[in-house]
Structure 1
Amino acid sequence: MTQATIKPEPPQDFDSLRNVILERRGELPKRLTQVAAYALDHPDEIAFGTAASIALSAHVQPSTLVRFAQHFGFDGFSGLQLLFRARLRERTSSYEERLKTLENGAAPAESTTIFNGFVSAGHRSLDALAAAVDPAVLERAVTLLANADTIYLIAKRRSYPITSYMAYAFGKLRVKCQLVGTSAGIDDDVLAMASPRDAAFAISFSPYASESAAQARAMAARDIPVVSLTDSAFSPLVECSTEWFEVVEADHAGFRSLSASMAFAMALTVSIAEKRRRG
């Protein structure tokens, strides 16, 4: 007689669900992995959307959403969606309330509305950052990078301003680094000089820069430790990183700033310099 399959208990909140997804991501089928990545990267869309609209955005069938929910112990997709809606209710929105107060008063100029929108998005990003960074992981990353002879800074496109500013700050703090992103196009030649005594710090946000991911993988393949900053647990940087951090920037009108990412990068930079100073 075959023993009935025991249905797993569903997670009780969004953070628990996220942890379970990350624990099981290596064993998920391809389509469920696709849903998992979309759910963690776009939690607000999961909360507000319909099964049809979410499936369309995630490039899967609606039935895949049901299978995904049942895989984690829910009766159906609506039960899973309740966790995402509860997450939104629990979030504080003091800055959004300020904007609402402005809207109820005299109508501000369009430029002021845009300005307030970006300020609000920046605050939301920073609030999320404070909750997202694990102090123990941060300390391990700081120690790893502080012990490196040279820190190679890998980034492209939107991420490049972050490593550029880090290189400037490291120079002022007398920390040896190498900014990868030469106008001569010799990035691979520069990275070829790295050894296992060095380390790399890589940054890439969706849509991920394939060149940055390839460079980070090449460094890891040569036993050069990589610390990365990205915006999803399913980022291509995660699989080749010794330590990694997930920072999701809030957007205004579809535009994302670098508020939280820059704050994190500067905290990391100064922490590395301080640890090296203290020996």
Structure 2
Amino acid sequence: MTRPHLAPPTTFDDLIQRLQAEFASLPPQFQVAVRYLLDHPAEVPVVSMRTVASQAGVQPATLVRLAQSLGYSGWAGLKTVFVHSLPQTVVKGYAEQAQRVVRSKRSPNKQQKMLDAQMLNIQALENLNTEKLAAVTDMIHKAKRVYVAGFRASYPPAFGFHYLYRLFRPSVYMLRSDAGTLEMELRSLGPQDVVLLIGFAPYSQEIVRVYEAAKAAGSQIVALCDSAVAPIALEANGLLLFNTETSSFFPSITAASALVEVLAEQLLARTGMRAVNDIAKAEQQLHHTGAYWTKH
């Protein structure tokens, strides 16, 4: 379906925004193609359309029709937008990945591959987020309250952010699904709040429920995730991306953990000396209450 009244995106950022806005209304095969294109942008400029289609699991004609629906004359026009794009990843099934790890158990460089993948994930954070980090920091800083959510494997970085930020801001709350009380906690969301969501594919039902509740409440949404077309990113007010690439069987959360530490540091700097004083009080209280082990 061609939309001649809409000019085709000329930059990768414009393309992401357009696809995010239209993703939910796209035909299923277009959605499959879009997710692959945005999650593997570095591959698009260097391989043929047939190869891209094969890897995405769609027909080449689907890519042509997708390009035309965005206002390009054909695939070549869409492909040019990807020349300077950055790589992102989508993980395979855990069992499939685990089987590959077991098959290669005698590989002499297994540990190095794992460390190299983690290093690349962290190095990618700068290019993925530098231009957006300041705006996201400002949005969170100005919020009346900040709610943080991450479930299953996304819980560690979410809790890490909550723990760090809570040291110098009391109005930070962790949304949990313990004892089936998530819906009860979501009732407190309001239009002056920011809801920070962390997730990666496959996305948990809980994180999508929080996303929908935040939209309904009029809260601002900050998504930290692995794809610009993740279900929690499509209508987010702020978006920071991380890669989950790994040579092991489970998506890596190393970059997500690093990203929340970067964000916490930015918020500390944004808050200033008041935050320093709050951290000093928290530290003093922790020592006073015996929170840390000491040698007697």
The interval holding the TM-score normalised by the smaller chain is 0.7 to 0.9
Q: 1:171 and 1:111 mapped to 2: Cα distance?
A: 43
Question: Partner of 1:22 in structure 2?
Answer: 16
Q: How does 1:132-211 map to 2 (within 5 A)?
A: 132-135=128-131, 137-211=132-206
Unaligned runs of 5+ in 2: 88-104, 275-296
Q: 1:80 and 1:219 mapped to 2: Cα distance?
A: 33
Q: C-alpha displacement at 1:41, in angstroms?
A: 0.9
Q: 1:23 and 1:179 mapped to 2: Cα distance?
A: 29
Q: C-alpha displacement at 1:143, in angstroms?
A: 1.8
Q: C-alpha displacement at 1:251, in angstroms?
A: 2.1
In structure 2, do the counterparts of structure 1 residues 198 and 72 end up closer, same or farther at CA, with 3 Å as the change threshold? closer
Contact 2:223/2:239, CA 8 A, preserved across alignment = yes
Q: C-alpha displacement at 1:216, in angstroms?
A: 1.6
Q: 1:192 and 1:76 mapped to 2: Cα distance?
A: 46
In structure 2, do the counterparts of structure 1 residues 219 and 112 end up closer, same or farther at CA, with 3 Å as the change threshold? same
Q: 2:253 and 2:232 mapped to 1: Cα distance?
A: 18
Question: Partner of 1:266 in structure 2?
Answer: 261
**TM-score (normalised: structure 2):** 0.69
Alignment partner of 1:129 is 2:122: no
Q: 1:62 and 1:198 mapped to 2: Cα distance?
A: 44
Alignment partner of 1:120 is 2:120: no
Provide the aligned length of Structure 1 versus Structure 2.
Answer: 248
Question: Partner of 1:58 in structure 2?
Answer: 56
State the one-letter code of the partner of 1:129. Answer: L
In structure 2, do the counterparts of structure 1 residues 270 and 185 end up closer, same or farther at CA, with 3 Å as the change threshold? farther
Sequence identity, in percent?
24
Q: Deviations over 1:29-60 (max 9, x none)?
A: 42434312211113466578775664455343
Question: Partner of 2:233 in structure 1?
Answer: 238
Q: C-alpha displacement at 1:81, in angstroms?
A: 6.7
Q: C-alpha displacement at 1:174, in angstroms?
A: 4.3
Q: 2:118 and 2:224 mapped to 1: Cα distance?
A: 18
What SS is found at the alignment partner of 2:174?
Answer: strand
Contact 2:228/2:234, CA 8 A, preserved across alignment = no
Moved over 6 A (4+): 8-11, 47-50, 79-84
Q: 2:113 and 2:191 mapped to 1: Cα distance?
A: 45
In structure 2, do the counterparts of structure 1 residues 76 and 193 end up closer, same or farther at CA, with 3 Å as the change threshold? closer
What SS is found at the alignment partner of 2:197?
Answer: strand
Contact 2:67/2:78, CA 8 A, preserved across alignment = yes
Bigger mean CA deviation after superposition, 199-208 or 236-245? 236-245
State the one-letter code of the partner of 1:247. Answer: F
State the one-letter code of the partner of 2:171. Answer: K
In structure 2, do the counterparts of structure 1 residues 112 and 151 end up closer, same or farther at CA, with 3 Å as the change threshold? farther
Contact 2:144/2:193, CA 8 A, preserved across alignment = yes
In structure 2, do the counterparts of structure 1 residues 119 and 215 end up closer, same or farther at CA, with 3 Å as the change threshold? same
What SS is found at the alignment partner of 2:231?
Answer: coil
Q: C-alpha displacement at 1:264, in angstroms?
A: 1.1
Q: Deviations over 1:175-232 (max 9, x none)?
A: 4322122422211211212333332100111122232122122112212211111111
Q: C-alpha displacement at 1:21, in angstroms?
A: 2.4
What SS is found at the alignment partner of 1:226?
Answer: strand
By relative contact order (CA 8 Å, sep 6+), the higher-ranking structure is 2
Q: 2:153 and 2:211 mapped to 1: Cα distance?
A: 17
Unaligned runs of 5+ in 1: 92-108
Q: 1:210 and 1:9 mapped to 2: Cα distance?
A: 34
State the one-letter code of the partner of 1:61. Answer: Q
Question: Partner of 2:33 in structure 1?
Answer: 35
What SS is found at the alignment partner of 1:159?
Answer: helix
Contact 1:55/1:62, CA 8 A, preserved across alignment = yes
Superposed CA RMSD in Å reads 3.5
